[in-house]
Amino acid sequence: MTASTQPTIDETALSDLSNAKLLLVDDNQQNLELMQAYLESLPCTVTTARDGLEAIEAIHRGKPDLVLLDVMMPKMSGFEVCRKIKSDPATRDIVVIMVTALHEVGDHERAVESGTDDFLSKPVNKLELVTRVRSLLRVALLKRKLTELLANQ
């Protein structure tokens, strides 16, 4: 294959987030509404879940590209949800950002050990949230595109 015939990654496809799917998970309705409002500037499809069990069900119904996951929830903690996502071959490539009001170093270590890709502290800063979501979605889209290109060679 010559350089001119090698498959390339379309830069515009990477910057287009209109096909991206986000799942917001928090047991507090106000937090969900606030994060949705903050993320309105992104052209993504956003769905929500109110606890860990709902999150797992939502992930299996329609695999999101990124999950914003509260840590402290009823029925199943964010740590448990993240471990389930990252231990399942069908979902392990989903980007997970844990959102926590916990500020102990040990809590951040638990988040990393559970497989999270990043974490944000509450109260969430709008600019930080939008910037990290956009950046991690672009990385996820790039990874998907590279996987597709490699599979087609």
Q: Kindly state the tokens that stand for 108.
A: 């951040």
Q: Tell me whether the omega of the peptide bond preceding residue 74 falls within 30 degrees of 0, making it cis.
A: no
pLDDT score of 10 more than 50: no
pLDDT tens-digit map of 20-68: 999 999 999 999 999 999 999 999 999 999 999 999 999 999 999 999 9
Report pLDDT digits (tens) over 77-122. Answer: 999 999 999 999 999 999 999 998 876 667 778 888 999 999 898 8
d(CA 20, CA 25): 16
Q: Can you give the C-alpha Rg of the chain in angstroms?
A: 16
User: How is the beta sheet containing 118-121 ordered, strand by strand?
Assistant: 45-49, 21-25, 66-70, 95-100, 118-121
State the pTM of this model. 0.86
Task: Output the pLDDT for position 7.
Answer: 45
In this prediction, residue 1 carries a pLDDT of 44
Full set of structural domains in the chain with CATH = 18-151 (3.40.50.2300)
